[in-house]
Amino acid sequence: MGFRCSKKDMRIVANSKNTQHYKQEAEANTFAIELLAPAKRMKFYTRSDASLKHVLTLAKEFEISKEAAARRYVQFHGETLAIVFSKDNCMLYTDRAAGFPWIGLAKNQRLSLPSTEESHGKLIPMEDVEPSDRSINASGSLLTAQTYFQQDGYAMTLLSLEDIDEDNDPGFDDAFDRFSR
C-alpha cells in the first residue's frame, strides 16, 4: 500500500489531533523540514527585523515552499510572530510562535485585505494594526502586519507582536477591524 501525503498532511504539526496517523505525519513533517531547512541555518535569516521578504528569500534559497518557509521563519525568529494563510481574502489557517496569543479567526472568516487579483506578487510593507479582544488578545502590545499576495488568490500575512508601554498608547486594544471583519 505505501504512504501517501496530502497537502493537508503536510500541515500537520506536533500539537495536532492525537491519533496515530497525526503523530506519524507530525514526526515525518518535523524530520523533513529539519533536513530541508536545518535549525542551525535559520539564524542567518532571522537575525534582522521580521519581514516576509526574508521568508521569500528563505523559500528560494532552500528550495522549499513559501508556506514551509513562513512556518519555519515564525518558529525560529526572535520576535513574537504568527502567520495567517488565506485564499480569496478568507482565512485558511494560522501558525503561531511560542508566546503569540491565540488568534480568534475562524476558518473561512473574511479578512480585510486588498483585492488579491490585482495584487498578485505584491508585498505590502509592514504596518500597524489594532488587535481586539475577539481576534487577538494583545492588550498593551503593538501588532504589525505584512501581507504577500500569491497567485490564484492565496496570501500570507505575517503578524508581529511587540510589548509597548501602555501609558503611551491608551485604548490601543480596541479594534483589529482593519484586518478582520
Compute the CA torsion angle 105, 125, 82, 131 (nearest 10 deg): -50
Say if domain 42-168 classifies as CATH 2.60.40: no
Give yes or no for a contact between 22 and 16, defined as CB atoms under 8 angstroms apart: yes
Nearest to residue 144, comparing CAs of 163, 123, 165, 159?
159
* Residue 172: pLDDT over 70: no
CA distance 50 to 34: 21
The pLDDT score that the predictor gives to residue 181 is: 47
Give yes or no for a contact between 12 and 25, defined as CB atoms under 8 angstroms apart: yes
Q: What is the pLDDT of residues 105-164, one digit of tens each?
A: 888 988 876 555 566 778 888 888 876 544 676 666 788 889 999 988 899 999 998 876
Contacts of 44 (CB under 8 A, 6+ apart): none
The pLDDT score that the predictor gives to residue 174 is: 40
CA distance 3 to 18: 19
Delimit the domains of the chain by residue range. 1-36, 42-168
pTM (predicted TM-score): 0.72
Task: Give first-to-last CA distance, the chain, whole Å.
Answer: 45
